[in-house]
Amino acid sequence: MDTINMNIVNGTVFQNNHCNSTDIENKIQNENYQLIYNKYKQFHDENLEKEKLPSMITPFYLHILCNGAVPGMIEYIEFYFFYYRGIIKENKEKHTVSISGHEFDKLSVIHRVLRAYPSLIRDYHFYCKLVESRKFGKVEYSISNDLNGRDINIEYNNKQYELSLYVDTNRSIVEKVKKNTNRHKYSDNEIQLPLNLSNAYEVGDFKLYGNAHIDRIINKIESRG
């Protein structure tokens, strides 16, 4: 089911709709992410951590494609289980789900899905900011590229670059190394853009990339000559 692909180029994937970072900010402003996430932290399951779950990325962007807007947390969780209903088998009496023949508490799966939500919001919000800046010839997001470790492609002065987005924490850096090892190698046209949470652009409980990061991208490109 993860074979679905979608490309968004300069915000033109939607009919009669364009990506809008302000709409996203309005959507997440009062989501109370931390409060809800903390309720599920107690269901952290080390065995589930070792399990390869179906992609968090695909249903997130499919929801955007179908609805023209990012999903709220509850919408995203519900759509995730709906989209993967043929893969994640639910036992409603036991409140468990079966994944690849292994049984887990459904609340543990919700905890893990919730953990991915801020990153999905952050990347798509920044995609919209890049488009809105009008500083790039092309801004492209592709599900298949993302699944292979490439976040956003941009064109600047007729040259193509790959943006690598990740939070500047030990855990994220380890994951970044794994991505480069297992999925793709660092290339000359890749621009790494770690997000320092201490000076991130904040909207409600969410820490996002902002306009300063767009300037940083341009500075990095122009410093290469």
- Can you give the residue ranges of every domain in the chain? 20-117, 121-223
Q: Which residues of 93-117 are buried (b: 16+ CB within 10 A; e: fewer)?
A: eeebbebeeeebebbbbbbbbbebb
* Confidence (pLDDT) at 15: 41
Concatenating the DSSP letter of every residue in 3-67 gives: T---EEETTTTSTT----HHHHHHHHTT--HHHHHHHHGGG--HHHHTS-PPPSHHHHHHHHHHH
Q: 146 or 207: which carries more pLDDT confidence? A: 207
Q: What is the pLDDT of residues 23-73, one digit of tens each?
A: 999 999 999 999 999 999 999 999 999 999 999 999 998 888 888 889 999
**What is the CA angle 70-71-72, rounded to 5?**
120
- CA gyration radius, the chain: 18
* pLDDT-based confidence at residue 194 (cuts at 50, 70, 90): very high
Q: Which two tokens stand for residue 39?
A: 């309720």
CA distances (Å), origin 67, targets 4, 103, 116, 152 = 17, 32, 20, 22
Q: 12 or 41: which carries more pLDDT confidence? A: 41
Concatenating the DSSP letter of every residue in 131-178 gives: HHHT-SSEEEEEHHHHHTT--EEEEETTEEEEEEEEESSHHHHHHHHH
Q: Mean of the pLDDT values across residues 157-184?
A: 72
* Confidence (pLDDT) at 68: 81
Which amino acid would we find at residue 113? V
Q: For the structural domain made of 121-223, what CATH number should be given? A: 3.40.1350
Question: What number of residues does the chain have?
Answer: 225
* Confidence (pLDDT) at 185: 54
* pLDDT-based confidence at residue 178 (cuts at 50, 70, 90): low
Percentage of the chain lying above the pLDDT 90 cut: 69
pTM of the model: 0.87
Q: 148 or 63: which carries more pLDDT confidence? A: 63
CA distance 110 to 97: 11
Is the pLDDT assigned to residue 206 strictly greater than 50? yes
* Confidence (pLDDT) at 3: 42
